[in-house]
Amino acid sequence: MRSFAGKGAFVTGGASGIGLALGRAFAAEGMKVMLADIEQGALDQAVAALRETGAEVRGTLCDVSDRAAVERAAALTIAAFGKVHVLCNNAGVGVGGAPIDETAPADWEWAIGVNLMGVIHGIAAFLPKIRAHGEGGHIVNTASMAGMMSGPMMAPYNVTKFGVVSLSESLAAELNGSGIGVSVLCPGWVNTAIGESQRHRPARLGPPQTPTPLALERRAQITALLRAGISPDEVAARVMAAIRDDDLYVFTHSVMRAALEERFRRIRAAYDKADAFKP
């Protein structure tokens, strides 16, 4: 996808962080932008800030874990802009902090509902509409480097992000040759507020678990890494380049390549062992 001016974009998690940066990048290219978010106050501020630049921007309250809510947001976007060409399934929550066997079922439900089902709902609601206008487009799904390699104490987050990578790979294979591109964004540490996700935890799931001292230590480490992370605008710039070049994978931190290579080394070693196995 090379031409952006006048086309429509829909971005979830659009009130802050990477989502808002994507909105700014699309608006700068002359796109019509719909920002969707679960936090009304922050959404209103984001829309107002972008409108001050002269951009055509609107906002809609949307809980991506609710398929009906995403479908309503899609209908609202089409009513406003006529067409959508770029879909960014970006909303996510950081869920974890406990060993797998101590993780509450509600935490699994929340992580899967937002991080994975939210992406699925976005594709289901918007892909038919992108296909229908026949002008091509691009779908960006936000995963994480946690979707490429897993660390301890963050299993709900890791599992959902691996799921987003797999989903994106499947979608890219299905859409090959259709004129609709797919990118999966796997950022490293970015200066966002994802570490404060608990403020959006649905009341129906009950209060979060009382964190253990180990969990608190891990949380403090993650907070420090996020604060020292790269700018969301840098991530958005890389996404724009990926859309233009029709890249499937979007990475941000070359320093993390070594850890990924270690994973690949272990996989290759397992294949070597399988080849040499004699029952």
What's the burial of 161, exposed, middle or buried (CB within 10 Å: 0-12/13-18/19+)? buried
Q: Which residues have a Cβ under 8 Å from the Cβ of 230 and sit 6 or more positions away?
A: 187, 188, 189, 190, 191, 252, 253
Q: Which of 157, 162, 189, 251 is catalytic?
A: 157
Is residue 149 within 8 Å of 263, Cβ to Cβ?
Answer: yes
Q: Which of 53, 17, 55, 86 is nearest to 235 (CA)?
A: 17
Q: Which two tokens stand for residue 147?
A: 């979707």
CA distance 107 to 261: 30
- Residue carrying structure tokens 């797999």: 166
Whether 157 is catalytic:
yes
The neighbouring-strand residues paired with 12 are 36
Two tokens at 173?
Answer: 């294979």
Catalytic residue numbers read: 157
